Amino acid sequence: MSRFDLTPPSAEQRTALEADLSADERRVLLQHGTEAPFCGVFLDNKREGTYCCRLCGLPLFQSSAKFDSGTGWPSFFAPYDEAHIERIRDTSHGMIRVEEVCARCGSHLGHIFPDGPAPTFERHCLNSVSLSFVDADEDLPDPLQRGGAEAGPA
């Protein structure tokens, strides 16, 4: 069980959070788009810290789970907490894939593939615009102002 409140944002909170998104962030997070490969701001990020949902701030991945997949998108082999992501069968584009969305707000993050490294052998292939990054010595974001676990360091 997650130590974070996974209750979805209220309609008012969601409206406020969405108003702060750029056009590209809207296209990816809300309309299940994909950013072009090799252009995301987090592709080559080597800092220690936590990758969070760009919309609601839920921690999704630790930098310690990041690896270079060579695909052009930030890739991780394990989530921060399995309860923080939702896996959805995706049959778009004539293939069967597993879409990954934020368990709290439902924002599109990317897809999961079974070709990652041990120990999970998963590759969580994410769009940089779906993420925000918090350095290891900083507090996690709390855009929903829930306090508790969200208020402490990563």
Asked if 117 contacts 67 with a C-beta cutoff of 8 angstroms, the reply is yes
pTM (two decimals): 0.92
- Say whether 125 is catalytic: yes
Q: Which two tokens stand for residue 107?
A: 């924002």
Nearest to 57 by CA among 29, 31, 38, 33: 29
Q: Is the pLDDT of residue 84 over 80?
A: yes
Q: Give the pLDDT of residue 20.
A: 93
Q: Could you name the CATH architecture of 11-137?
A: Beta Complex (2.170)
Q: Which of 53, 56, 105, 125 is catalytic?
A: 125
Q: What is the pLDDT of residues 87-134, one digit of tens each?
A: 998 877 777 889 999 999 999 999 999 999 999 999 999 999 999 999
